[in-house]
Chain A
């Protein structure tokens, strides 16, 4: 019974959103605003139950009920986190800078070594490794062509994004090659994006035709 009501409700809300294809209208605006509210409400519930309760509330509760006094150390980050509530009091709004500064500092500190290893060292290694394989005679001519193409592509793309030098002469030529690679890259992204967006539509049509109307 509740499932049936749910499917009808879901179908009506789906049609409300699809009505935007004709033009902006009250049905669409109704669904759009309801969607924002429900999504935020869902996010609040999940963050409270799966974030605040296990990370902040439970250690404190255990500290008092099970005498796990070590849990009281968590009072410090809880108090720092609670400074976000300062946003609600304009005169003390600046206090939210404390938790933000800590989160940003930690994020930056973590990013420096890890991003350097994962996104710079590994990527440079990945570009050069095929040449070691060429030297060892492990690649066929087509793969050798691929390795040279990759090196050319990476260098030329980086040159295109290097704005400290005027893009003239050799630099200009190399950066033009970079544009070629970028355009092919963006083109392939577009092709895949079409697949992604159409997939979403197929799923909604499948819901309407199969689950709601039982036509398939």
Chain B
């Protein structure tokens, strides 16, 4: 029996995982979200920005991480447009280029934000750290035109934005090392304030930067999106996803406990 339980076909586990996600999705369950301090810090910082401030968002993720970071981007951009904070979008990864463009346009359509006045999308430039350093001197030395190839000189919003000095906060939405690049090359060198929203896989490694204030805030994966949605009072994909997530987490916890019980029984029998 125990032997059987321990050598169960992995496809049975797969079916359980599938059901743990599909059933709650169909039932549209919803649980209350507790907001963590790092997410609240990000929200508070943006909330405290005066009208006309500028936030730069790095869409540094591809389709493989959009499930975690797209809802976060949506919530933060909504908040910015509500607060009349201007948004500049850009990415250091080619995969993020279309995603960032789509997301900014989606939220702009919903809120009535105007391109070139309330937000600008610069798109992608290869070179990562050199792109970050180049923007420190002049953004238009790296992005001489926006994603639609309109010269920055012709975009009204960019008239008074030259480099990081006019950017009040950088929010890096990252699935890889980009947050470390922003910290090392823009926070350190240009004293740029940075917040991050990162995938679950890398969130643990960001905490040292949070304690040193090299990051002023941190949003952890889909949970971060749900927390931010709660703070702006606009539940969306993050909140929905985290409620479903609960069942999958309970399943994994249950599986680990079951596996260990079986393991200890088997060990005792062997002894």
B26 touches A192 (CB 8 A): no
A189 touches B68 (CB 8 A): no
A118 touches B21 (CB 8 A): no
**Nearest-CB residue, chain B, relative to A154:** B208
Interface segment, B40-48, B153-161, B165-173, B185-193?
A: B185-193
B201 touches A200 (CB 8 A): no
B204 touches A188 (CB 8 A): yes
**A54 and B145 contact, Cβ closer than 8 Å, known pairs A42-B94, A114-B185, A118-B184:** yes
**Nearest-CB residue, chain B, relative to A193:** B201
B241 touches A192 (CB 8 A): no
Q: In the complex, A111 Cα to B129 Cα: how many Å?
A: 10
Of the candidates A21, A110, A203, the one whose C-beta lies within 8 Å of that of B129 is A110
Number of interface residues of A (CB under 8 A): 46
Of the candidates A110, A122, A189, A194, the one whose C-beta lies within 8 Å of that of B249 is A194
**Nearest-CB residue, chain A, relative to B252:** A194
B21 touches A201 (CB 8 A): yes
Near A by CB (< 8 A), chain B positions 173-202 give: 183-185, 187-189, 199-201
Q: In the complex, A215 Cα to B22 Cα: how many Å?
A: 11
A21 touches B14 (CB 8 A): yes
B214 touches A122 (CB 8 A): yes
List A contacts of B28 (CB < 8 A).
Answer: 216
Q: Is A185 an interface residue (CB 8 A)?
A: yes
A199 to chain B, nearest CB (A): 4
Interface segment, B50-58, B77-85, B103-111, B120-128?
A: B120-128
Q: In the complex, A43 Cα to B126 Cα: how many Å?
A: 10
Number of interface residues of B (CB under 8 A): 57
**A195 and B221 contact, Cβ closer than 8 Å, known pairs A46-B124, A117-B188:** yes
Q: In the complex, A215 Cα to B28 Cα: how many Å?
A: 11
Near B by CB (< 8 A), chain A positions 160-204 give: 185, 188-189, 192-204
**Nearest-CB residue, chain B, relative to A53:** B149
A202 to chain B, nearest CB (A): 5
Of the candidates B124, B188, B244, the one whose C-beta lies within 8 Å of that of A114 is B188
A51 touches B125 (CB 8 A): yes
Q: In the complex, A114 Cα to B45 Cα: how many Å?
A: 26
B208 touches A202 (CB 8 A): no
B184 touches A192 (CB 8 A): no
Near B by CB (< 8 A), chain A positions 71-106 give: 106
Of the candidates B65, B97, B241, B244, the one whose C-beta lies within 8 Å of that of A46 is B97
Q: Is B203 an interface residue (CB 8 A)?
A: yes
**A198 and B249 contact, Cβ closer than 8 Å, known pairs A107-B129, A185-B204:** yes
B97 touches A50 (CB 8 A): yes
**A199-B67, A203-B237, A215-B26 known, 10 other contacts, Cβ within 8 Å:** A42-B94, A51-B126, A111-B184, A115-B184, A118-B184, A125-B212, A189-B201, A194-B248, A202-B67, A206-B25
The contact sample of 17 A-B pairs, CB cut-off 8 A, is A43-B94, A46-B97, A50-B125, A54-B145, A107-B129, A110-B129, A118-B214, A126-B208, A189-B205, A192-B220, A193-B201, A194-B248, A195-B245, A197-B200, A200-B68, A201-B17, A202-B248
Seen from chain A, the residues whose Cβ lies within 8 Å of a Cβ on chain B are: 21-22, 39, 42-43, 46-47, 50-51, 54-55, 58, 106-107, 110-111, 114-115, 117-119, 122-123, 125-126, 185, 188-189, 192-206, 209, 215-216
